[in-house]
Structure 1
Amino acid sequence: MTSRKLGVIGGSGLYAVDGVQDARWQSVETPWGAPSDQVFCGTLDGLEIVFLPRHGRGHVHSPSDVPYRANIDALKRLGVTDVISVSACGSFRQEMAPGDFVIVDQFIDRTSARPKSFFGSGCVAHVSMAHPVCGGLGAVCAEAARAAGVTVHEGGTYLAMEGPQFSSFAESTLYRDQWGCSVIGMTNMPEAKLAREAELCYASVAMVTDYDCWHPAHDAVEVTDILRVLTGNADAARRMIRGLPALLGPDRAPCPQGCDTALEHAVITAPAARDAALVKKLDAVAGRVLSGSADTHPG
């Protein structure tokens, strides 16, 4: 058993959860630049918890500009073991109505303007994304959300679009009818990929705000409508988070899915050929498997 430390990535208001003790804002430096904001740290019913506003307080980062690598590195550097991503999304399914939560289990990544890996030339690694989220952590989120009075759908494919514009009608119809997607959003990629590379258990809680433009009653998505639903969703998300410590507990067994050992056989660059500068940047993310290799190549 190891100690559990929960990270929550989401909207700026999620950290306002009743009962957080020893609360403080903390700055974190990473080799990948500054995270979206300071992190809000504390203890909730005996569970250490870290909140990171994905877009920064005041919503200053667009989806394409969110420093995803710095965010995940910062959480890993602080000792986070489990990450829950909370984000707004549009729905492609009539039964997944505004106000509902979808526990995502698959992704289609249509983003194109974001660095998607910690690894690269000088230290190459390939992690599996066949099952891109932690099923056990997702199930706990579903249980906590239901207890908070939310309608929850377990399982669904999240289409990650680049944005910041919303979909065209043709795109929305394609993703719904031809690709079979459940929800659409702009922020879970490359976040989920980076969490896997960092050997973090990652669960995605997609909060439905609208039906996207495929729906005859939602053919023009308006930000004002989304914000109105989002306020109610944020209240529900805080109630969900409030119930997580009792379900998760402060102790953590190895992940049955292997999220916490995702790099075990993923790094394929020979130790003698690894770039020392890149290996140094990977100290928090991949130090478990790269320890001792930083000085094997002059860079």
Structure 2
Amino acid sequence: MSDTGSVVGIIGGTGLTTLSGLEVKGARTVDTPWGVPSSDLTEGCLDGQSVMFLSRHGNPHRIPPHEVNYRANIKALYDAGVRTVVGVNAVGGIHSDMGPACVVIPDQIIDYTWGRAGTFFEGDLEAVTHIDFTWPYDQAARDILIRAATNCQVPFAGFGVYGATQGPRLETAAEIRRMERDGCDLVGMTGMPEAALAAELGMRYVCLGLVVNRAAGKSDHIITMEEIEAAIEQGMSGVRQILENSMADLGALASLSQSS
């Protein structure tokens, strides 16, 4: 795992604090200039590919979305040699095709969060830096996940605008109607600033979303934790299948990132 860029990073969200099937080689307790990441970095192999796994909310699941140290998480993975990252996110479905247990591989994002430390480019700088963020998710990595989902016959949507909200509360029905008017297809609380921070460091980043509930007002009942937990249990096996099926291609992409 010493070759910079040859390791695939996986950030596990709600329902994925550990990664079954990962042949664990060890764990790293690390620090960064932006503090300590949410969890130790777990080094291992998944389907023969070197992987660095990090639990976004800690293990056990204890850090709410607005208090995740996104800068420390991304920098820790970067310092460990990761240049290609899959962010696994639990999301709510706004689009009619995105029901519970459906996997979504979004192509765009709208940021509704506030007050989060969302950039590496601040403080005592020599110059102001602006990055291009037109396409927040790496298309080559998206293609790999879409192909893997197709091969595994996992129910999925290969498109979607991710609306990132502040949390930790769920949204109101009126907020979801507003987000739908804005063009959002799914809603989550951890998509930003994670994607932007990865872009600032030049990392390939892709989101693998699991719909765990219909968004507020999109069903005839209130959202319960029992509903969410049932969708996680039903859908997480598909997420794991996609990850395992995509490892060889993501590894090749990681090596390409290294050589470039």
Structures share fold, TM-score greater than 0.5: yes
Cα distance in 2 for partners of 1:13, 1:209 equals: 13
Q: Which residue of 2 aligns with 1:30?
A: 32
| Residue 50 (1) aligns with residue 78 (2) | no
Matched, 1:76 2:78: yes
Equivalent in the alignment of 1:110: 112
1:213 paired to 2:216: yes
SS in 1 for 2:67: coil
Q: Distance in 2 between matches of 1:103 and 1:141?
A: 7
Determine the C-alpha separation between the residues in 1 that align with 2:175 and 2:5.
44
TM-score by length of 2: 0.91
Q: Which structure's relative contact order is higher, taking Cα pairs within 8 Å and 6+ residues apart? A: 2
The equivalences for 1:137-156 within 5 A come to 137-156=141-160
Q: Give 1:267's aligned residue.
A: none
5 Å-filtered alignment, 1:258-297, equals none
Structure 2 stretches lacking a partner, 5+ long: none
Instruction: Measure, in 2, the Cα distance between the counterparts of 1:34 and 1:3.
Output: 22
Worse-superposed segment, 246-255 or 138-147: 246-255
2:246 is matched with which residue: 240, 244, 247?
244
CA radius of gyration, larger in: 1
Of 184, 199, 204, the residue aligned with 2:202 is 199
Q: Which amino acid aligns with 2:120?
A: F
Q: Which of 177, 189, 192 does residue 189 from structure 1 map onto?
A: 192
Give the aligned residue type for 1:180: G
Cα distance, 1:14–1:149 mapped onto 2, change above 3 Å: farther
Match of 1:100 in 2: 102
Separation in structure 2 between the aligned mates of residue 52 and residue 254 of structure 1, nearest angstrom: 20
Alignment of 1:150-169 (within 5 A): 150-169=154-173
**Equivalent of 2:237, from 235, 238, 255?**
235
Cα drift, residue 16 of structure 1? 3.0
Matched residue type, 1:106: Q
Q: Deviation of residue 118 (structure 1)?
A: 0.7
Q: Give the match for residue 132 of structure 1.
A: 136
CA separation of 1:87 and 1:64: change in aligned 2, threshold 3 A: same
1:243, distance to aligned residue in structure 2 (A): 1.2
Look up the SS of the partner of 2:105 in the other structure: strand
Contiguous gaps of at least 5 residues in structure 1? 262-299
d(CA) in 1 for partners of 2:212, 2:230: 8
Q: 134-143 or 69-78, which moves further after superposition?
A: 134-143
- Check the 8 A contact 2:103/2:239 in 1, yes or no: no
Query: Residue 23 of structure 2 is aligned with which of 21, 24, 36?
Result: 21
Preserved contact between residue 14 and residue 234 of structure 1 (Cα < 8 Å)? no
Shift, 1:202, TM fit: 0.1
Contact 1:92 1:214 in 2 (8 A): no
The list of structure 1 runs, each at least 4 consecutive aligned residues, that deviate by more than 4 angstroms after superposition, is: none
Displacement of 1:14 after TM fit?
5.6
CA offset digits 1:77-108 (Å, max 9, x no partner): 00001000111100111111111111111111
Q: Normalising by structure 1, what TM-score?
A: 0.79
Question: What's the secondary structure of 2:208's corresponding residue?
Answer: strand
1:266 corresponds in structure 2 to none
Distance of 1:130 and 1:215 partners within structure 2: 29
Distance 1:62 1:2 in 2: 31
**Structure 1's 41 and 254: CA in aligned 2 closer, same or farther, altered over 3 A?**
closer
Residue deviations 1:235-283 (CA, integer Å, cap 9, x gap) = 221121111223334462249xxxx99xxxxxxxxxxxxxxxxxxxxxx
